[in-house]
Amino acid sequence: MTAAAPEPKANMGKPVPRYDAVAKVTGRATYGSDMPLDNPAYAFLVTSAIAKGRINSFDLEDAKRVRGVIDIVTHENAPKLKESKLFSNGGYAGTTIQPLKSADIAHDGEIIAVVIAESYEAAREAANRVKVNYSAVTPSASFDSQGTTKAAAKGQNAQFKEDPKVGDFAKAFDEAEVQLTASYETPTQHHNPMELFSTSCAWMGDTLVIYEPSQYVYGLKNGVAEQLGIDADKVRVVNPYVGGGFGSRGSMTPRTAIIAGIAKRLNRPIKLVPTRDQGFTIATYRAETRHEIKLGASRDGKLVALRHEGAEVSSRADPYCVGGTKTTTRLYACPNVDSLVSIVRADRNTPGFMRSPPEVPYLFALESAMDELAVKLNMDPVELRRINDTTNEPIGGKPYTSRSLMACFDEAAKAFGWAQRSAAPKSMSDGDWLIGYGCAATCYPTQMAPAAARVRLQRDGRTRVEIAGHEIGTGAYTILAQTAAERLGVPLEKVAVFIGDSDLPPGPVAGGSNSTASTCSAVMMVCDQVRQRLFKALMPNESLADKAKETVGMGQTPSTEAARSDRPLDLEKAFDALGAGVVEEYGEWKPEGAPLDSFKAMHSGHARLVGGAAMKDKIAYAFGAEFVEVRVNRFTHEIRAPRLVGAFAAGRIMNPRTARSQLMGGLIWGMSSALLEATEIDERTARYVNDNFADYLVPVNADVPGVEVILLSEQDDHINPAGAKGLGELANVGTNAAICNAIYHATGQRIRKLPVRLENIEV
């Protein structure tokens, strides 16, 4: 075993190499804009240079003269599209701001024209030559701008149902022996996946094929059909590989239906590849947030009162919010809890999911405050977490299905060398560098969604697994192949996996870290259906259900001894008995507690995630603990994080190699979020300024010399048949606070606003 392929512990699958590794490193993996089209035309977007106002007129003369220009589409001649509601209100859209509908402009960088040409170069040149005459109105950029409105999230966002509270917070806080009140801020951030927000639309008669990086092919298929006013069966979305998503491709953006409409009108396939900076405004982002935390505790560190108030920015049009209080009010034992989430409306594009949407900003606040409380109590921050660890969440008293938080703290602390920390701030250094150690808890809800799969097994063991899941870089192909191979008892190399195509059985959105749990549970179920048919052929007189349970391990995770050792099925014999060469089964799986309309919603592209804090009689989260070493240069105040150590427990680990990779990426992202990533907004114009990779900083290798991931063994039989908790969004949650806590330790300075930059340090 190597660092990249950790030795599996109990309840972990094999660290097999990625199914798509060779295709990816040899460039054979085809992404959306790689798909060959027959005689395509090329689109280039013109986006708004103002954030609010109207377009008075276009001057297109110069642009139209560029050789190869076919058409320039503006609000004056755009295809008419139907509206789609916001995903959280039962629609498919990530924004209800529909460009090209009128002369009005609602945010910076809104699509205001689409140039279609014979080549990408001609389209781009002509777009540069489009002149626009605007009437600009002074926009409201963010929290502190004039003209914003603020209102409680509850009541305006259908997915934000409740501000959790319990007991009497005010009284308990007043009477608490130790009190802490602190405010925190997180910045605007953009996903910046490597693959740009491209789309290619090709009509074949009345059928539309869309090649586009999407984290939800069924959502996109149904959403575009709705906007075009055609039957969803006439739309197919294909994306065998997605070059990163991070939430940015979870809901439909306006670009797709626009391009599809133009392709229909021109009767020609159209390929759109927007630029990096256009990606900042034609898709979503993580909005800036503000928090006030109040903690009351006894002298011995027991929390007696907790209040979390959060505010988030959204667009004028849409009440998007992440509302992380559902997690922060439940993480620790505390009898008196209060919370409130508000939305501030500004002249911005609508924000959306970004890796661990609620947990990243809200846990930054809580886990920073916990560190501040530990300092007030003169207590080791790890011990403060131990004192307030709980088996039941405090709001409804529901038990956690499993919770390895303190085991993670202990493992990570040991690996990190936490015991060597000298507790006083500014007490550790190395030459020019002050050294700080910090830690924080991390967690993410365990979520599941209905999923369907088709499995086809041949006499020679060759297997085909079909499910409209998504390979966004996480390892979906790999673990689906592993799951089928293990369940059917066939060699891994005989399994072929087909995902990323809306003609396949519907899978869930690749969001909320539900994919592994949902798709693997569905594939396991359908594999069992295949085995049942073969058993029935072999043993027609046996009681099928009992026999299958006994010998196939149905209802058990494949890791159990029974499922592993007791596999008497002889494929050749079974196929002979069946008198067939192929067995193919289709099945639909839904998680416990899924609403009645789940399967209907699944087919119509509506994500119905269940789990986390929303379950009836239990609560399911994955946990981890993160430790970081930061170094602050006493002269330049530069901040570096040479060591990141995280320990994580997330139920069954399907593949330690891909799991480690995701968690490592999460730790790096978390560090990046704490120290580097912020989208700068020009307050006067409400425009994003640093909309490129030279100015929107993400880490390079030199920034992350030491990242260690520890996978803990954990078994949870109360979540889903696969026994898996999603971990794609687990690791980047705690890092923000861990970094700030370490900076406090290094410098004695508490920084409550992200990202932390050298000018924020006063040594």
- Footprint (CB under 8 A) of other proteins, residues 555-614: none
Comparison of 288 and 691: residue with beta carbon closer to other proteins: 691
CB 612 within 8 A of CB 598: no
Structure tokens at 403: 């919770």
Q: Between β-strands 681-682 and 687-688, what pairing exists: parallel, antiparallel or unpaired?
A: antiparallel
What is the rounded distance in angstroms from the CA atom of residue 297 to the CA atom of residue 226? Answer: 53
CB 214 within 8 A of CB 220: yes
> Does residue 690 interact with other proteins by CB under 8 A?
yes
CB 461 within 8 A of CB 571: yes
Binding mask 656-675 for other proteins (x = CB under 8 A): -------------------x
Window of 227-235, 375-383, 689-697, 720-728 that interacts with other proteins by CB under 8 A: 689-697
Q: Is 41 exposed, middle or buried (0-12, 13-18, 19+ CB in 10 A)?
A: buried
> Does residue 703 interact with other proteins by CB under 8 A?
yes
> Does residue 424 interact with other proteins by CB under 8 A?
no
20: closest CA among 474, 451, 454, 464? 474
Window of 247-255, 322-330, 677-685, 742-750 that interacts with other proteins by CB under 8 A: 677-685
One-letter amino acid for residue 420 of the chain: Q
Question: What backbone phi and psi angles, to 5 degrees, belong to 499?
Answer: -135, 180
> Does residue 681 interact with other proteins by CB under 8 A?
yes
> Does residue 7 interact with other proteins by CB under 8 A?
no
Check residue 141 and report its DSSP letter: -
Q: How many residues bind other proteins (CB under 8 A)?
A: 35
> Does residue 682 interact with other proteins by CB under 8 A?
yes
> Does residue 676 interact with other proteins by CB under 8 A?
yes
Comparison of 460 and 695: residue with beta carbon closer to other proteins: 695
Find the helix or strand (DSSP H, E) in which 689 lies.
none
CB 215 within 8 A of CB 472: yes
> What is the SS3 assignment for 387?
helix
> Does residue 701 interact with other proteins by CB under 8 A?
yes
Q: Between β-strands 270-272 and 41-47, what pairing exists: parallel, antiparallel or unpaired?
A: parallel
CB 33 within 8 A of CB 47: no
> Does residue 689 interact with other proteins by CB under 8 A?
yes
- Footprint (CB under 8 A) of other proteins, residues 744-763: 757-759
Binding mask 350-389 for other proteins (x = CB under 8 A): ----------------------------------------
Alpha helices in 509-557 (DSSP H): 515-538, 544-552
Window of 13-21, 88-96, 302-310, 676-684 that interacts with other proteins by CB under 8 A: 676-684
> Does residue 128 interact with other proteins by CB under 8 A?
yes
729 catalytic per annotation: yes
> Does residue 702 interact with other proteins by CB under 8 A?
yes
What is the rounded distance in angstroms from the CA atom of residue 158 to the CA atom of residue 644? Answer: 38
> What is the SS3 assignment for 85?
coil
> Does residue 125 interact with other proteins by CB under 8 A?
yes
Comparison of 546 and 759: residue with beta carbon closer to other proteins: 759
As measured in angstroms, the least distance from the Cβ of 418 to other proteins is: 25
Window of 124-132, 297-305, 360-368, 721-729 that interacts with other proteins by CB under 8 A: 124-132
> Does residue 185 interact with other proteins by CB under 8 A?
no
CB 232 within 8 A of CB 3: no
CB 465 within 8 A of CB 492: no
- Footprint (CB under 8 A) of other proteins, residues 461-520: none
Distances (CA, A) of 108 to 63, 280, 594, 685: 22, 9, 39, 8
Which string of DSSP letters, residue by residue, matches 513-524? T-HHHHHHHHHH
Binding mask 617-656 for other proteins (x = CB under 8 A): ----------------x-xxxx-x----------------
Comparison of 383 and 695: residue with beta carbon closer to other proteins: 695
Window of 471-479, 618-626, 679-687, 728-736 that interacts with other proteins by CB under 8 A: 679-687
As measured in angstroms, the least distance from the Cβ of 706 to other proteins is: 13
CA angle 752, 363, 356 (to 5 degrees): 120
- Footprint (CB under 8 A) of other proteins, residues 519-548: none
- Footprint (CB under 8 A) of other proteins, residues 26-65: 47, 49
372: closest CA among 180, 164, 503, 559? 180
R_g of the chain, CA atoms, integer Å: 27
Which string of DSSP letters, residue by residue, matches 431-454? TTEEEEEEEEEEEEE-EE--EEEE
From 699, 708, 748, 750, residue interacting with other proteins (rule: CB under 8 A): 699
Q: Which of 226, 288, 626, 729 is catalytic?
A: 729
As measured in angstroms, the least distance from the Cβ of 680 to other proteins is: 4
Q: What is the C-alpha end-to-end distance of the chain, expressed in Å?
A: 44
Binding site for other proteins (CB under 8 A): 47, 49, 121, 124-125, 128, 277, 432, 633, 635-638, 640, 675-676, 680-682, 684, 689-692, 694-695, 697, 699-703, 757-759
Catalytic residues: 729
